[in-house]
Amino acid sequence: MPSPLTPTLQGSVGLPYQGVLAGGRELPLQGPGYRVAKPPGRNFGTPSLVSTIEYAAAEVARQRPGPPLDVGDLSARWGGQITNHRSHRSGRDVDLLFYVTTVAGAPIESLGFVPFGADGLAQAHGGPHGDRYIRFDLERNWLLVKALVTAPSSEILWIFVSRPVEALLTEYALARGEDPELVWHAESVMLQPRNALPHDDHFHVRVACSPDETVAGCEDGGPRWPWRHAPPSLDWPESEDGIEELVAGPSLAPLP
């Protein structure tokens, strides 16, 4: 815990599912290309997370204008536990709803947390028109993932999302001729979590600790992806084998 007795601790402190947040930044409730979907109070994050959300939403809106990105929970003002989440405690996690279209492909506003199958379709319940089918907006969701993993403001540690949705996105990215290295990067961070909901109705994005944040108490739990900046400590495994152990080790399975 940051306190007068621990003057070196500041910002995002501890692990995403145990930590707290000091001096977080508030994500404005609306901005270019996005809106906060839930009541305010859970729209705080590290400056790097907030900047990354703003950057990615604006990039999608610039490249493919349409209905805004609906942003779900980040963290509370001082972090810590919030209802409905195990993590989201240290200002490094955010839930982003999918961009959706009509079955015919016209972009429409998100209808909330609606689970999508491997065919890219979902049945949304209720609303003025009753039940209806909607389609996963492959292009805009891919542009979002691409903007997240290339954002200059932070490194993405994980994008928790179901395996069928990940497959739809990577197949689409390769078909449209994206750089295979970029697609591999995106594919690496996208993960259907074990011991948790499959995340077939939203992306759960987690940003990594920067070296400066790590010095101030931030712990992101790894892994150390090959493209990450060198951490300030010497405790990290030096060999490729060590990295694979970090990624694959069951004891270090990430929690969404």
Using CB under 5 A, list all residues that contact Zn ion. Answer: 95, 204
Euclidean distance between CA atoms 176 and 106, whole angstroms:
19
Q: How far is the CB of 2 from Zn ion (least distance, A)?
A: 24
Q: Which is nearer to Zn ion, 2 or 16 (CB)?
A: 16
Number of Cβ within a 10 Å radius of residue 123: 12
Q: Which is nearer to Zn ion, 90 or 101 (CB)?
A: 90
Q: How far is the CB of 1 from Zn ion (least distance, A)?
A: 23
What SS3 class is residue 79?
A: strand
Q: Which is nearer to Zn ion, 204 or 224 (CB)?
A: 204
In three state form, how does the secondary structure of 148-195 look? HHHCCCCCEEEEECCHHHHHHHHHHHHHCCCCHHHHHHHHHHEECCCC
Q: Which is nearer to Zn ion, 146 or 204 (CB)?
A: 204
Quick one: which of 62, 48, 68 has its CA closest to 157?
Answer: 48
Query: Phi first, then psi: what are they for 247, rounded to 5°?
Result: -70, -40
Euclidean distance between CA atoms 51 and 232, whole angstroms:
23
Q: How far is the CB of 94 from Zn ion (least distance, A)?
A: 7
Q: How far is the CB of 256 from Zn ion (least distance, A)?
A: 6
All residues at 6 or more sequence positions from 39 whose CB lies less than 8 Å from its CB, including other chains: none
Q: Which is nearer to Zn ion, 43 or 101 (CB)?
A: 43
| Closest residue to bound Zn ion by CB | 204
Q: How far is the CB of 59 from Zn ion (least distance, A)?
A: 21
Euclidean distance between CA atoms 144 and 140, whole angstroms:
6
